[in-house]
Structure 1
């Protein structure tokens, strides 16, 4: 829809109560200022960040959302490995040794002073997937106790051009994410899990693996200190994996081809692996901020708005010496947005269902704030209809299109398309579906436990400049501002795109909060079974 000269951004005119852009601007600007030092969790600045968010939530009309309190404690553990031994592989004609960092990396999810994997039999488990809804189980018939799973990255049909494969082809499913592969290996009782790195299906080089897995790792504290996890999780270079399977006369390419076909059976490699390292453990506590607008006729049913308040704190200085990663776009805009959405919903009056607004911590450390909430929900997940997650709204012009990150996974697609049509917008395919962005922001912690969640991105077809301008703006942010000191507030920002974003988020959330329906995942989606199980266990919700 082409706007007439001087018209409001697409979507804003249709709303009886519009979210306040000046309020969003105020909150975004304040959270981006240098005195908050980049909003690093569990630092001296966290209390000031929390006090400000609480004050803004209260002014917006919210009530404390955690049994009369604004804050939910998020206990975390930081584990830093050191003194890593080489990985040795025995059982072939010649023992193999692989150096830490260059050829393999490994960490532990367990809170323990030492990790030692000794003479653990290696089993090639293909893509390491157990998907009953698809009739696929790479672990069928194998006992993994005491053994190390060797796992391929991504999904079996990742190389397809389209999205018609069993695992949605080029579009990554959760079964392709490294997090899932480690979780499933633990469920199977494996001693350790090692993913074979390959740049194309991983969508990043070994340098990313090396930098991400050789420093401190952060996890949510659990009652059993992670003892239900594998002893160690890690990665190996593809060349190292080829050498390992070749030591027993096998070919990684042939094994990979076999693993891409339904009915694949895990292959014991006839080799054992040994490696180890020490762990320095530090425990700390951060906080989520939770507010609520109670519902009228169905107050025990809940719709969520979420966004993360944290960023990187002090980081590598730029050429000017600036070492504060302010995170203005990522994600001061998100907290500004949910504050403005709370205010608009309060002014519009209560909905049938309760609306919950959560400013989450520790997203940048691995979605830990949302993970803790999902493990310890204040509002039962079976009584949570769904939600809208907001992460990094970009300054810039309005777009004609919006993308449903993750694609058509659930009944939420129908509401998304209806809302776009009402606001004179259109849907477009997600850019780069192979990168699995749906599994990399806070909504995912809820989605993998069955709660359907919106994660919506502005499209690239800008009203001013079309797709060329949209792609250039997206590339500029990633290359020049993402996770850098240059992600700073500017009085010169163009807010027209964010105005359209906010109108869309408002309508999506309010429609869920007023509706009596319970959207579910599609029958072949990886999260359908857990939602059905959750619903069956509760008489009060879905």
Structure 2
């Protein structure tokens, strides 16, 4: 892996106390948090209240302290929007009408919090390729076209996602933030589009239509306090098959246009004589969700902080399974990570205090676009310049012990040295992401801290399993993504194999404990996109 095990001779690492992360605590916490009684842990629901109460009880039992100036919580203003009475996407084209049904063929909603009803009427449609404006790369998919009040149809991922290696205008096979759906909707809004529709394609999206359908129907969480005028009226997704039918009816071909969109100098293509109409009502509810913040105070350098983070939220009630089950329990995603915060805090408390303070933060709103961690990044409860670094824990899996771990964003920071040391104790190795095109670096809460300059380590369970090797690891990952991820069947199973997960938790413990006992300040490697931000933050002391 490029620069993964960076030699950091100047970094002085202290010997961590032996890890005693409790499997019993993990099992109890995961089973509780993913039970039907917690109703899928959606922000702003009874499930949130139960989750917060449970975490405070557990952190209190451990002996942790409230971490936000005497409070266990950081309030995150949110708005819950639920679309109802959704019309089909109705396209008028030169060759007749094309409609897409809500759920099986398209999903649509809005970020506008002050609009009880959304109506887009006869909006001209423009195909804008990947919908990217990147001046530093000389790339502008909106050049020469005015999309104000119009509907833009956008491809998912980056133009070079099919590249075999990691070289290309958008890092080749590795997704950049320009490839994420969040960016595409943000840019469409900046361009003044009335509606923005992303074409779903399983490989570049990194998940099937079932994930889109379960994630984008029902209540959606958005930040409070942002002006509606700066947002598109309607945003959503459409299946690839339906997009192909639409473009064919408009006298175009999706495959041909997609190939053209991959090349520099691509020009957006207005679909002559083609318009979109869609309408839906919104149930809007403002509420205040919460991050949970627990503290193990340090001794000699208690104003320096090491972070352990995970998101507590999931999707709540969602698209029903065939058996009628409509609770997305989120056992793996992310009751496991939330339980890990409790178990790691417990292990550290038992091992005794460290020189630096340790902060355990359970985020809200990750499933809605990293809302809780982004809010914290903009409103930190402790100074970012005094935050040494940390680990983010998301979706630990029960695939058994592995010979490796996968590092998301490896080769970016000096934290690789800490991980390398912890792995050596277990006789395991770090490997690069096998699917960098899926953009996992931009899909979990570590990204919110990285944007503010704080080095964060994020690993996934290994794919080279002791029992079955790479073939078994790949099969297990595919099974989870196809049958459980963001669906009602991500449920607790008493038969799970916890061995591999507990190995990974020992890594998190060792890395965090090392950081908390060391005097070093890990940084991003020279030339990394976040290095200048970190240097500036440390220099200014904030």
Give the shorter-chain TM-score range.
Answer: 0.7 to 0.9
Residue-by-residue CA offset, 1:165-196 (whole Å, 9 max, x unaligned): 33233333322221221122223333332223
Aligned to 1:501: 504
1:44 matches 2:35 = no
CA spacing shift, 1:37–1:177, aligned 2, 3 Å: closer
Find the aligned partners of 2:40 and 2:276 in 1 and give their Cα distance.
Answer: 40
Q: CA deviation at 1:455?
A: 1.9
Aligned to 1:5: none
Find the aligned partners of 1:466 and 1:521 in 2 and give their Cα distance.
Answer: 32
Q: CA deviation at 1:380?
A: 4.4
CA spacing shift, 1:143–1:354, aligned 2, 3 Å: farther
Aligned to 1:219: 221
Q: CA deviation at 1:411?
A: 4.3
Does the aligned pair in 1 maintain the 2:153–2:199 contact within 8 Å?
yes
SS of 1:292's partner is strand
Residue-by-residue CA offset, 1:122-156 (whole Å, 9 max, x unaligned): 44332122334444333345554434333211111
1:157 matches 2:160 = yes
Does the aligned pair in 2 maintain the 1:19–1:340 contact within 8 Å?
no
CA spacing shift, 1:211–1:451, aligned 2, 3 Å: same
Does the aligned pair in 1 maintain the 2:156–2:198 contact within 8 Å?
yes
Find the aligned partners of 2:122 and 2:322 in 1 and give their Cα distance.
Answer: 48
Equivalent positions of 1:172-183 (< 5 A) are 172-183=175-186
TM value normalised by structure 1: 0.82
- Structure 1: 5+ residue runs without aligned partners? 1-13
Does the aligned pair in 1 maintain the 2:311–2:394 contact within 8 Å?
yes
Aligned to 2:82: 80
Among candidates 400, 424, 435, match of residue 403 of structure 2: 400
Equivalent positions of 1:256-275 (< 5 A) are 256-270=258-272, 273-275=275-277
Find the aligned partners of 1:381 and 1:137 in 2 and give their Cα distance.
Answer: 34
Among candidates 284, 288, 310, match of residue 287 of structure 2: 284
Equivalent positions of 1:86-235 (< 5 A) are 87=89, 93=94, 96-101=97-102, 104-111=106-113, 112-140=115-143, 142-206=145-209, 208-213=211-216, 215-224=217-226, 226-235=228-237
SS of 2:230's partner is coil
Residue-by-residue CA offset, 1:307-343 (whole Å, 9 max, x unaligned): 2334455678889987766544443332332122223
CA spacing shift, 1:381–1:271, aligned 2, 3 Å: farther
1:332 matches 2:347 = no
SS of 1:394's partner is coil
Does the aligned pair in 1 maintain the 2:125–2:153 contact within 8 Å?
yes
Aligned to 1:17: 18
Find the aligned partners of 1:33 and 1:94 in 2 and give their Cα distance.
Answer: 51
Equivalent positions of 1:384-395 (< 5 A) are 384-395=387-398
Q: CA deviation at 1:357?
A: 0.5
Aligned to 2:373: 370
Q: CA deviation at 1:456?
A: 0.7
Aligned to 2:11: none
Aligned to 1:4: none
- Structure 2: 5+ residue runs without aligned partners? 1-14
CA spacing shift, 1:539–1:406, aligned 2, 3 Å: closer
Find the aligned partners of 1:106 and 1:178 in 2 and give their Cα distance.
Answer: 13
Q: CA deviation at 1:451?
A: 3.9
SS of 1:369's partner is helix
Aligned to 1:355: 358
Q: CA deviation at 1:409?
A: 4.3
Aligned to 2:532: 532
Aligned to 2:524: 520
Find the aligned partners of 1:237 and 1:522 in 2 and give their Cα distance.
Answer: 41
The farther-off stretch of 481-490 and 451-460 is 481-490
TM value normalised by structure 2: 0.82
1:434 matches 2:437 = yes
Q: CA deviation at 1:269?
A: 4.6
1:487 matches 2:491 = yes
Aligned to 2:72: 70
Does the aligned pair in 2 maintain the 1:301–1:541 contact within 8 Å?
no
Find the aligned partners of 1:200 and 1:220 in 2 and give their Cα distance.
Answer: 27
Report the number of matched residues. 522
Q: CA deviation at 1:390?
A: 1.3
SS of 1:444's partner is helix
Does the aligned pair in 1 maintain the 2:244–2:254 contact within 8 Å?
yes
SS of 1:455's partner is strand
CA spacing shift, 1:317–1:413, aligned 2, 3 Å: same
Find the aligned partners of 1:481 and 1:104 in 2 and give their Cα distance.
Answer: 21
The farther-off stretch of 241-250 and 348-357 is 241-250
SS of 1:280's partner is strand
The farther-off stretch of 455-464 and 415-424 is 415-424
CA spacing shift, 1:34–1:143, aligned 2, 3 Å: closer
Q: CA deviation at 1:158?
A: 1.6
The farther-off stretch of 148-157 and 199-208 is 199-208
Does the aligned pair in 2 maintain the 1:383–1:540 contact within 8 Å?
no
